A = this chain, B = another copy of it.
Amino acid sequence: MLAIERLRRIEELLKENGSVVISNLSATLDVSEETIRRDLEKIGKTMKIKRVRGGAFLPATTDNEVPIKIRETIYLEEKQLIGAKCVELLEDGMSVMLDSSTTAWYVAKNIEQSQKKITVITNSLLIASEFSESKNVKVISVGGVLRKSTNSFVGYMATDALEKLSADLAFVSCTALTKGFGATDNHEGEARIRKTMLNQSIKKVMIVDYTKFDTPAVNPICKIRDLDLVVTDREVGKEMRMVFEDQDVEVLVCK
């Protein structure tokens, strides 16, 4: 039996019965209990499950919950890694701005799991929803017009609101990060949000995932020298590395 099949099977059983028992799964699927535990951990990253001693179950779904379709996004290991790394920078009591990129969403997931006491400021509907039942996280959402393709709030309302807030850190993503143009984005509204988030935060962190470094977009976010830290999952070329060093920007590669 394939590992992925086993995962699907467990999910199925969860949805069917509302709960699963580790010892049972271990016996019926013929793998060790440790494996089942690890499986449940993985499942917990994509869907909302409650892990308890001896098993796991789905939380009772009431009308007052955020629809699942919003919750479920494709889960990528590399981004998860970046998310985990970013959360290491956080400590109890800190405030952090998160944009509407998927990577920021991973950071959010990791914040929730870490149990750290954090204030999250975001323009992402997904991220706000993520914390809708959180005990440790205080959420401040900026308002604005809902942009449906990214489930984020944009427009002058959003940037205005951001300008009245400040945070210890900002985790922001971009479409491209190049030597000449700095960080740039495809969408004007999002670019302005990101720019503002960086401006209003003490430590300015740019998250660059597998996205290419070398094809600039039209809307500028900031110059490279404006950043404090770049977190990425791919090896940084010699030239870029030099640029970062010159401009005094720290680089963190997660692999």
Contact = CB atoms under 8 A, between A and B. Distances in A.
Interface of A: 2-5, 19, 21, 52-55, 57, 62-64, 66-67, 69-70, 72, 102, 105, 125-126, 128-134, 138-146, 148, 150-151, 153, 157-158, 161, 164
Given A72-B63, A129-B67, A129-B125, A143 B140 contact: yes
Contact of A2 (B55, B67, B105, B132): B55
A23 B2 CA distance: 10
A152 to B, nearest CB: 10
Given A57-B4, A64-B102, A153 B126 contact: no
A109 to B, nearest CB: 10
A11 to B, nearest CB: 12
Contacts of A2: 19, 21, 52-55, 57
A140 B145 contact: yes
A98 to B, nearest CB: 13
Interface centre among A5, A57, A131, A150 (most CB of B within 10 A): A5
B153 A145 contact: no
Nearest to A105: B63
A139 B146 CA distance: 5
A44 to B, nearest CB: 16
Contacts of A143: 140-144, 153, 157-158, 161
A62 B69 contact: yes
A145 B142 CA distance: 9
B145 A132 contact: no
Contacts of A130: 67
Contacts of A21: 2
Nearest to A137: B146
A64 B3 contact: no
A2 B148 CA distance: 40
Contacts of A144: 140-141, 143
Contacts of A146: 128, 131-132, 138-141
B54 A129 contact: no
A52 B128 contact: no
A92 to B, nearest CB: 19
